[in-house]
Structure 1
Amino acid sequence: MNISKTTQDAAKHIFKMTDDAKYFKGKSTEVIIAGCIFIACRQSNAPRTFREIFALTKVPKKEIGRTFKMLEKFFQDDKNKPFIRAINQDAPPPTLSATNATELCARYCSGLRFNNNHLMARISSELCEKSSSVKDLAGRSPLSVAAACIYMISHLMGESRSSKQIAAVAGVSDGTIKTAYRFLYQERASLIDEDWLTKGGRLDRLPVN
């Protein structure tokens, strides 16, 4: 998962703290480990989704979520707060909010091996931010929104990737990507930035569906 050693060590420390406190009674070691990895990644500003942690540990996403909520309570205890701040001085308090779609773009673009990966990740992230104004996308998974934005930008910028190629990297179905893309396409006039067109983007490259 390309998790840094600092984050790995943080996950180990979190596990040891909860183990010493006998905080998790009745939960399997695998479930606790999955939760510790999830919170360590988030606190190190390198968040991973429940889906990605599931792929690594085979612990169901619901179990990871329950464990994370318990870890939130654990770190609300005053005697444990100094430790969580020590992981990353600038990190916000633990939160169960969904991984932001813009945070996923760089990781997904890297997996798709674009010629100009930095540009594609930046523009896709900008489109993700703009997509918050699309009412039909409200409540949709950040994974599917990020994937749909990359799908749109890849075609706009002439480095097209199929919905199936993006689905393989993002871990969502190609049908989900196309559904989210349709809503983006409907609002393309307000979403596409003029600056992207000056960098080689062309609206006539966008798939109609």
Structure 2
Amino acid sequence: MVEHYSNDYDVKCKLDACKTYPAITDSERGEIVCGGCGLILVQNMPDSSYENNGYSQEDFMKLTRTGPATSLTMFDKGLSTVIGDNKDSSGKALTSKTKYEFNRLRTWDQRSKSRKTATLSKAFTLLHAMKTKLGVPDSVVENAAYIYRKTVSAKLTRGRTMASLVSASLYAACRENNIPRTLDDIASAGNIERGVLSRDLRTIIKKLGLSLNQYDTTSFISKISNNMNLDEKIKRDAYDILIRCEKEQITAGKHPVAQAAASLYIACILNGKNISQKKFAVESGVSDVTIRNRAVMIKKTLKLLD
């Protein structure tokens, strides 16, 4: 006797003598049989395997079954229906009458999309453009798209521009994943004012209840030193200076970028490399006066360069 099960495959044989025997799954035949008596418990199971042994685009298109994975960075999460070219399944061109009908179908398919769908499409296009400018990973962009969708669901878009909300969502995602990007970097990539970005960011944090951790200052040391092509010895010395500053508790409440730039500036002097504070100010995005004040505090506290 064969029993059909819809979704639950946690089955056992009903015979008392077979309760101690496990169920055996035969993936090739799509069956689950009893290990004691051999009774077929489940048959015609769908094959959920995925042949991912292809190493080219052609092999991937032939072996794939479920298509690409869904993504929050797509306005329809990658599940929309796309009407293809004017060709049939065999590759032959459609007749003029059929071609006209499909053109009308494409037009109505485009018109039938809601206003929310069109807005999400524009927002995520801007998000991908900012991703290219800032060089952030895909996981951060996915997180930013999730935050923006929550912002839209919370009806926070009224009175605020789409660019500022997308930028604020991306900055919040960078903070959550510890990707060193400042407000100035995000504002420049999104072509908005820093004050507007800061205001909308505070609104999103308050309304959505986000908990954003402070940036790790060491990540800014790597960013600034890589942009200025500094030696590895200078970078390590800057790390040591920053760790000593944290032990002395003089980093609390201070700008992390200014702290990193001042540590690198002092490390350059210790290694005999003269780089002006103005260059560090340009690379870090903070004023040279701030870097000078932080450098004086570090020298005085750690008793360096006496």
Q: TM-score normalised to the size of structure 2? A: 0.50
Identity over the aligned pairs, expressed in percent? Answer: 22
Matches within 5 A, 1:39-188: 39-76=172-209, 94-95=211-212, 98-116=214-232, 119-132=233-246, 133=248, 139-188=253-302
**CA-atom RMSD, angstroms?**
2.6
Give CA-to-partner distance per residue, 1:159-199, whole Å, 9 cap, x none: 4422122111101122321222122222343xx6xxxxxxx
Determine if contact 2:245/2:302 at 8 Å carries over to the other structure: no
What is the aligned residue count?
Answer: 172
Matches within 5 A, 1:170-209: 170-189=284-303, 206=305
Separation in 1, partners of 2:180, 2:280: 20
Partner of 1:6: 139
Separation in 1, partners of 2:270, 2:263: 10
Q: TM-score normalised to the size of structure 1? A: 0.69
Taking a change above 3 Å as real, the CA distance of residues 55 and 125 of structure 1, as seen in their structure-2 partners, is farther
Letter in 2 for 1:32: L
Separation in 2, partners of 1:50, 1:123: 27
Matches within 5 A, 1:18-29: 18-29=151-162
Larger Rg computed on CA atoms: 2
Taking a change above 3 Å as real, the CA distance of residues 161 and 134 of structure 1, as seen in their structure-2 partners, is farther
Q: Which consecutive unaligned segments of at least 5 residues does structure 1 have? A: 77-92, 193-205
Higher relative contact order (CA 8 A, sep 6+): 1
Q: Which consecutive unaligned segments of at least 5 residues does structure 2 have? A: 1-133
Partner of 1:30: 163
Determine if contact 1:114/1:159 at 8 Å carries over to the other structure: no
Determine if contact 2:174/2:180 at 8 Å carries over to the other structure: yes
Partner of 2:150: 17
